[in-house]
Amino acid sequence: MRFQPGVIAPADLRGDCLWLVFQGARLLLNDDVVQGYFPALKNFSWLGMDEVARQYLGVWESLPVFAVSVPESAIPPEGYHFEDLRRILGQVDDELFALAGRAFQILEWERSHRFCGRCGTPTVGHAKGERARICPSCAFSSYPRINPCVIVAVTRGDEILLARAQRFNRPMFSTLAGFIEAGETAEETLLREVQEEVGVVVRNPRYFGSQSWPFPGNLMLGFHADYESGAIVLQEEEIAEAGFYHFSNLPPIPPAGSIAHALIQSFVARCRRT
């Protein structure tokens, strides 16, 4: 493992640290990636920007890692630029993307838990160094929350069910996905979502793998499943277009680095083998 998570920064920081600096959902990158994607410097102040919040994340290949948020007005120093977190997916390696996603989610969690959700009192950090915001009045504690989602590749022989969501602003077709509701299993969500969104009944869900998806704090649980019955009927508020596509003739699909891409590619590889 290249990353070891931690909550409390070492007291004695002498060498360089890795700084994951966010301005909203935009991340500070080196202009020249030969130096690595993210700034590695001893002091954050060398970047010449104010900081709004700071969280220690752990150690990446011997470098202590900090997530820092800066004001909307901050201007990146020479040699750096801000890039939308989504746009670096598939550009940096998966582990670095996951680290950046972790940084973003922890900063967002801290920003949205400054007050107790139960009684409104300003929260404080955890006394023993857990990643939690504690209410000094009622003792309610808030940990970073992950929202589990199911994402499923429904297949029928050599064809895969892909849909273009209304919210996609470009012609991209993906596998269906939806949030797990309170009280549901992942498999129940899968059957419900597919039926709701395209009116099709599926069977035989098989777990594929998972991916942290920091937009804003989801855990995508990937599955394959088989088409069972039904004609496609769109849930029009969500889905603009959907169909079964032959593996040799797919429409534009999500970029490499996403679990949707990995699911679709594993289906294509399976078809090519048979």
If the CB atoms of residues 134 and 150 are measured against Zn ion, the closer one turns out to be 134
Integer Cα distance of 254 and 173 in angstroms: 7
Q: Which of 18, 135, 152, 202 binds Zn ion (CB under 5 A)?
A: 135
Closest approach of Zn ion to the CB of residue 107, in Å: 22
Q: Which of 13, 41, 138, 256 binds Zn ion (CB under 5 A)?
A: 138
**Per-state percent for the chain, helix, strand, coil, to nearest 5:** 20, 35, 45
Which pair of tokens denotes residue 221? 């649980």
Q: Give the contact letters, 90-119, x = binds to Zn ion (CB under 5 A), - = no.
A: --------------------------x-xx
If the CB atoms of residues 36 and 144 are measured against Zn ion, the closer one turns out to be 144
- Residues 6 or more apart in contact with residue 50 via CB below 8 angstroms: 70, 71, 74
Q: Tell me how far CA of residue 100 lies from CA of 1, 11, 16, 95, in angstroms.
A: 16, 23, 18, 9
If the CB atoms of residues 124 and 256 are measured against Zn ion, the closer one turns out to be 124
Q: Which of 115, 140, 244, 247 binds Zn ion (CB under 5 A)?
A: 140
Closest approach of Zn ion to the CB of residue 142, in Å: 10
If the CB atoms of residues 77 and 117 are measured against Zn ion, the closer one turns out to be 117
If the CB atoms of residues 4 and 121 are measured against Zn ion, the closer one turns out to be 121
Closest approach of Zn ion to the CB of residue 30, in Å: 42
Range list of β-strands (E), the chain: 3-5, 17-23, 26-30, 40-41, 53-60, 63-69, 80-84, 124-125, 133-134, 141-142, 147-156, 159-165, 176-179, 201-213, 218-229, 239-246
Number of residues that bind Zn ion (CB under 5 A): 8
End-to-end CA distance of the chain: 35
Closest approach of Zn ion to the CB of residue 221, in Å: 32
Site residues (vs Zn ion, CB under 5 A):
116, 118-119, 121, 135, 137-138, 140
